[in-house]
Amino acid sequence: MPIYLEPRDVTEDLEEFSSVLIVSCPICPQMSLSMQKKTPFIEFFKHGFKTPAFEDYIASIRAPLKQRGVRTDVFTMRAPSPLMCIWTEGQRRRLRERAKGFEAVLVLGCHSATATAKEALKDTDCQVFQAMRMRGLANATMKVDFPATVELDMNPTPTNRAARRHENRVGTAAENEKEPS
């Protein structure tokens, strides 16, 4: 089951860098953003296998960096893998090769994807940052419409009582931090 991810603000993380490589996993970020934006995951005849909400997210990261004169590029796996963010040595080697000349790598994926990128780049000078936060597991219903449009409707994921109590404590703590003392 895919991981449900939400974007996080990485502006401060990237302030000191003049070059950033954006690295993406092939499934979870695209799926999560299409559900959040309530837009199609795939519109094959319009966009091929690209997810418009995800492409917009990448553009929203690149635009302010470009305005500051930061060089950016995007790296993704060529095709989705059933193991998603468990990359082969060949894929890791491709990432190392592509990351040469970049000061920072921004990972669009879960903690596992970030750990994979850090491990693959451990012998380089690249600093690795995670651009998305994990919110849980994704559970969706897939609809395929003519012609070759795939939409995902988010289903609520069942949680046990202990998980709900933890979510309530975390939510209450976050609200208390926002309130002036």
CATH number at residue 15: 3.40.50
Residues of the chain with pLDDT under 50: 170-181
Q: What is the mean pLDDT of the chain?
A: 81
Count of the separate structural domains present in the chain: 1
Q: How far is CA 166 from the centre of its chain?
A: 24
Residue 130 makes CB contacts below 8 A (sequence gap 6+) with 8, 107, 109, 111, 113, 114
Q: Which range marks the domain in which residue 111 is found?
A: 3-178
pLDDT digits (tens, 9 = 90+) for 73-90: 999 876 555 555 677 888
pTM, 2 dp? 0.76
pLDDT in tens, 129-144: 999 998 877 777 777 7
Cβ pair 153, 146 in contact under 8 A: no
